[in-house]
Structure 1
Amino acid sequence: MSWTLQNWLQNKLKEKLKWKKFFVVLDDLRNENYHDGSILRATFEAGAPRSTIVITTRNEGVSSMTVKRCKGSPLAAKVLDGFLLSKMNRHEWEDVLKSKIWDLPQMESEIYAALMLSYHHLPSHLKRCFAYCSILPKDYLFEEKRLVLLWMAEGDICFKMEDRVWDNNGRKPSTKARYLSYLGGYLDGIQKFEVFNDLTCSRTFLPFMLSFLGRCCLTSNVPLKLLPKLQRLRVLSFSGYRMYELPESIGDLKYLRFLDLSWTTIRSLPDSVATLYNLQTLILECCYYIKKLPSTFGNLVNLRHLNIRGANALEGMPPQMGKLTCLQSLSNIVVGKGSYSRVIKELGPLLHLRETLCISGLENVINREDVRDARLIEKHNLYRLSLEWNGNLDESQDRTSEFDVLNILQPHKGLKKLTVKHYGCAKFPTWLKVPSFSNMVRLEIESCAKCTSLPLV
């Protein structure tokens, strides 16, 4: 086939596949030329994400060697398959399958060998990220997103196994250790942390609760005495402890980027938290007793992730939230009463919000222009949105203004999930029509007792 004809056919195929999701089977492929394979792959790259190409071949050399190495284990085959996807020619595949790692005596199973081989070929910066996972307890179930936030907080990870302290069992660790992690107990007093006294280079303080989540107690003198000694911390967690307050000295942790107080009984945050100018992540999930955030919270200009999901006692959001222009994830924004009623307008400058957002307390909105200033329709990276009113309002109360609020809160057309809860009017705005949201996969209308008609779905 001439080059001109081949090029014409490839362009035509690209046009047909553009933005379309497809499943293609190339059966009995015998051409092993790397250049031809690259051209063929480029043709299919015009399709939609998650399209699939299946290739079968009669090249028994590579195929039989792959089966032999995996010894019939589906898991080993899956690991090896994921790794080989990045190898683009036969010679690279053969180098992997002939690696001496498969024959090391300590490789008790083919699965370990496949995993070790994948690790061996990782770029150096990803190897350090992988090694960082050694601070996690064995068999600990962790969230992918949380691990990524920890990596972000550490910045340039220069991880060495001797730099970690993991439940040292009374042995004195190296004074240069930088990563502290341990299992939380039912009652943890200052004696448990005496081994940490000389670890002034520590960058991570990370407890893990396996058995007593929400029931572990931390004596009040632990953070009071420990934090002044750990001035280089980038990651600090007290998640899962029954603790009621943080000392003002937390504001001295100038390098802190990650602070996790989830599932604690903390009542309030000290004002000094607002001086942690390098803070990127603040997790207050399921802090059921916290009522207010510091009034100068808007000073945390580098904050990217704020999780207050389940902090149901919050009376409202602090002023000047709009200054947090680096925010990428904000679980909730609470519209409170009085001075808290105008906080919804602070959403306007937060153009980088993505994934999920819940706006609650909408019954407290007084000025409709504040709702308009939220510019919700411009938040193109939000895919799940929840709009909530209070479900315990007096039935005799006039709620006609809620229609205008919901009408102004029109999201962008790429939204995938929308929840409207405790809405108090009889009808919905005209924008709430499925043809307007071609990507919508879930629409929830919950506890909207006064509605006389549902959106046309």
Structure 2
Amino acid sequence: MLEKFFENHAIKDGDLELNDELMKVGRRIVEKCKGLPLALKTIGCLLSTKSSISDWENILESDIWELPKEHSEIIPALFLSYRHLPSHLKRCFAYCALFPKDYEFVKEELIFLWMTQNFLLSPQQIRHPEEVGEEYFNDLLSRCFFNQSSFVGRFVMHDLLNDLAKYVCADFCFRLKYDKRQCIPKTTRHFSFEFRDVKSFDGFESLTDAKRLRSFLPISNSWRAEWHFKISIHNLFSKIKFIRMLSFRGCVDLREVPDSVGDLKHLQSLDLSCTGIQKLPDSICLLYNLLILKLSSCSMLEEFPLNLHKLTKLRYLEFEGTKVRKMPIHFGELKNLQVLSMFLVDKNSELSTKHLGGLGGLNLHGRLSINDVQNIGNPLDALKANLKDKRHVKLELKWKLDHMPDDARKENEVLQNLQPSKHLEDLSIWNYNGTEFPSWEFDNSNLVFLELRNCKYCLCLPPLGLLSSLKILVIIGLDGIVSIGAEFYGSNSSFASLERLTFSNMKEWEEWECKTTSFPRLEDLSVYDCPKLKGTKVVVSDELRISGNSMDTSHTDGGGDSLTIFRLHFFPKLRSLELTRCQNLRRISQESVNNHLIVLFIQDCPEFKSFLFPKPMQILFPSLTNLYITRLDHCPSLECLPAEGLPKSISSLTILNCPLLKERCQSPDGEDWGKIAHIQELHLFQSWCVALYHDIIQRK
């Protein structure tokens, strides 16, 4: 078992075959890993880069396997994997010693941290540092130094690898609370602390003794966490002249940035997000090495300094959540800008034209949000933004909410002329008041995410089914949509990659003509607050959610004016079913075995009475583990559980306020007692069920 686990990591994509000699050495290496999965994984990933028997033997015979007792907390296999990293990856990995254990970080943020320490320099500067950082990150990921978190887009280090990073950094990295010493060593180069550990920074004046400090990093997984800083910031600036990365994110005491910030000539990243600053000093424009400036959620900040354009090396500018309503003067001179979180279209048509031309001259390739698009007076000005030639990964186009367009045709032309690059992966369009979507919207083979929100005057959807890479589609508040039909799909092979589909707040939507072959990979379908929707036949492969609708089944079963019986057998591959606010739902039926259903969730269905099955639930739903019938005072009509009882596979049952069911299972003598006695986790949430719950526990 352990040998197979090791082999799976040591041999990737069939590049290497384990002959008898390699097998023999591999078995001895597995023994040295002493059954630790992480050690087997990392050493296996290391050996996947080594093809000769001599390389494997060198690793087997390394003296690192016999680390002295004083280093007993470090796993030799992990240290060995670190020792075999190229020097540039050693630096990048060791810097992660700033992170607390279990900290979930975003790849882009870590790459920016590396950039501020000059870890991402390429020969002759032939590549952007962002590209170099991406390569380094993916290399460490492939060698198992990082792992994917349970949250999409986030990563984490194993605790033992976190210890290793701290070990190899020694006194160069100081993490408050983790390092037990009271004083920060003078040798410290990088300093971090967690918000939850340090609510106030009072009493840490020894920080100013670390005169060669290069990183000051407060860390929290919560964006809105707060902390206090009691040291004079001016005095701090006078001591840390070599600082490169400085963050005060979440420091509630920071309301004014002292002029002395201009003396930090080595500073490359300044994060003032979520502070109370009202303005930036002019001296900030003297930071000629500044690459990153973050000002998000500085809710009191109203304007930029006049000379911000002098920060010619600036690559990243973030200021959403501020009161800033105008772009910096001479904005177009920031020629190195790569990521701009927000671009504001000025009401002044002359400035708007000038700034759009400046935007068009930038080599942006990260994420960009263009706000106040309604201020583009001439559709030809939209062409000056030159979005088509930019390598955006994420783009947001936002009109002001509830603005009234003078000319719908002009709105259409503006959006048409804001055509993005074919490389775009993530697109959101908010509050667009044109009557139709442009042709380019369904002509992008790379688009993965699309959101259309509050586009109230659009009368039909474009053929989004043609987007072959689209995985997530969100459609919210399109009040002009009455029917969704063939125009939505575009071809017989429509929505080939779609995994999640959400409709919400569609006030006039009545009919949905849905092809059975249109969503071959759909896992999650959510329909919320669409009061006029009559319903349709839908075949999905993983998860269905229907909420807030009175749905007609005439398209699917030829009868009924509303959805009174939900026919679960229409969805043979469903893993999770959620029925929420279905006003007329009375029963759930199932005709054949469903091996996929794991979760059944019924919420706010006041007419729901019973399950209607021709065979026992144990036979029909062999994989069902969680049953929820919830919401206080909203399921009063549920009379009984299935006569044959619940599937033995169910481990969790939640029932909230179902009065008629109460009488049947409120005591061990009740009619439904035997149907729930095997449940491991029971939540009934009523005063009458407390005694029942305790009795179940005692019987177990």
Same fold (TM over 0.5): yes
Alpha-carbon deviation of 1:200? 3.2
CA distances 1:203-240 after superposition (whole Å, capped 9, x unpaired): 23333357895432335x72133212322221211111
Aligned to 1:135: 98
1:229 lines up with 2:239 in the alignment = yes
1:344 lines up with 2:356 in the alignment = yes
Aligned to 1:38: none
**1:170/1:195 contact within 8 Å kept:** no
Equivalent position to 1:425, from 410, 425, 434: 434
CA distance in structure 1 between the aligned counterparts of 2:371 and 2:14, rounded to whole angstroms: 45
**1:298/1:324 contact within 8 Å kept:** yes
Q: Secondary structure at the match of 1:314?
A: coil
Matches within 5 A, 1:28-67: 52-53=13-14, 57=18, 59=20, 60-67=23-30
Amino acid at match of 1:284: L
Q: Which fold has the larger relative contact order, with Cα–Cα distance below 8 Å and residues 6 or more apart in sequence?
A: 1
CA distances 1:373-406 after superposition (whole Å, capped 9, x unpaired): 1111111x21222211111324x75554221211
Q: Secondary structure at the match of 2:393?
A: strand
Amino acid at match of 1:277: Y
**1:135/1:164 contact within 8 Å kept:** yes
Aligned to 2:365: 354
1:79 lines up with 2:52 in the alignment = no
Alpha-carbon deviation of 1:430? 2.5
Q: Secondary structure at the match of 1:332?
A: strand
Aligned to 2:335: 325
CA distance in structure 2 between the aligned counterparts of 1:175 and 1:76, rounded to whole angstroms: 34
The two structures, once aligned, show a CA RMSD in angstroms of: 3.1
TM-score where L is the length of structure 2:
0.52
Equivalent position to 1:161, from 170, 192, 197: 170
Q: Secondary structure at the match of 2:394?
A: strand
Matches within 5 A, 1:242-391: 242=252, 243-308=254-319, 310-338=320-348, 341-342=352-353, 343-351=355-363, 353-379=364-390, 381-391=391-401
* Count of aligned pairs between the two proteins: 397
Amino acid at match of 2:411: E
CA distance in structure 2 between the aligned counterparts of 1:54 and 1:279, rounded to whole angstroms: 44
**1:186/1:212 contact within 8 Å kept:** no
1:402 lines up with 2:445 in the alignment = no
Aligned to 2:113: 150
The 1:412–1:183 alpha-carbon spacing in structure 2 relative to 1, beyond 3 Å, is: closer
CA distances 1:119-150 after superposition (whole Å, capped 9, x unpaired): 11123343233333333344444333323222
Aligned to 2:81: 118
Q: Secondary structure at the match of 1:392?
A: coil
CA distance in structure 2 between the aligned counterparts of 1:200 and 1:329, rounded to whole angstroms: 32
Q: Which runs of 5+ in 2 are unaligned?
A: 1-10, 121-167, 465-700
Greater C-alpha Rg? 2
Alpha-carbon deviation of 1:279? 0.2
**1:277/1:299 contact within 8 Å kept:** yes
Aligned to 1:18: none
Equivalent position to 1:449, from 456, 469, 486: 456
Aligned to 1:178: 189
Equivalent position to 2:212, from 177, 194, 201: 201
Alpha-carbon deviation of 1:366? 2.6
**2:296/2:322 contact within 8 Å kept:** no
The 1:205–1:440 alpha-carbon spacing in structure 2 relative to 1, beyond 3 Å, is: closer
CA distance in structure 2 between the aligned counterparts of 1:324 and 1:54, rounded to whole angstroms: 46
Give the stretch that moved more between structures: 192-201 or 204-213: 204-213
CA distance in structure 2 between the aligned counterparts of 1:448 and 1:210, rounded to whole angstroms: 34
**1:386/1:420 contact within 8 Å kept:** yes
Alpha-carbon deviation of 1:254? 1.4
1:187 lines up with 2:150 in the alignment = no
Aligned to 1:44: none
CA distances 1:91-118 after superposition (whole Å, capped 9, x unpaired): 2122223333234365769x92321111
Q: Secondary structure at the match of 1:371?
A: helix
Give the stretch that moved more between structures: 285-294 or 203-212: 203-212
Aligned to 2:637: none
1:218 lines up with 2:229 in the alignment = yes
Q: Secondary structure at the match of 1:259?
A: strand
Q: Which runs of 5+ in 1 are unaligned?
A: 1-40, 42-50
Aligned to 2:64: 101
Amino acid at match of 1:102: W
Equivalent position to 2:421, from 412, 423, 440: 412
Alpha-carbon deviation of 1:423? 0.5
| Structure with the largest fraction of helix | 1
Aligned to 1:25: none
CA distance in structure 1 between the aligned counterparts of 2:308 and 2:290, rounded to whole angstroms: 11
CA distance in structure 2 between the aligned counterparts of 1:169 and 1:112, rounded to whole angstroms: 22
CA distances 1:233-252 after superposition (whole Å, capped 9, x unpaired): 21211111112221122112
The 1:172–1:440 alpha-carbon spacing in structure 2 relative to 1, beyond 3 Å, is: closer
The 1:439–1:358 alpha-carbon spacing in structure 2 relative to 1, beyond 3 Å, is: same
**1:316/1:335 contact within 8 Å kept:** yes
The 1:67–1:203 alpha-carbon spacing in structure 2 relative to 1, beyond 3 Å, is: closer
TM-score where L is the length of structure 1:
0.77
Alpha-carbon deviation of 1:193? 4.0
**2:282/2:305 contact within 8 Å kept:** yes
**2:91/2:119 contact within 8 Å kept:** no
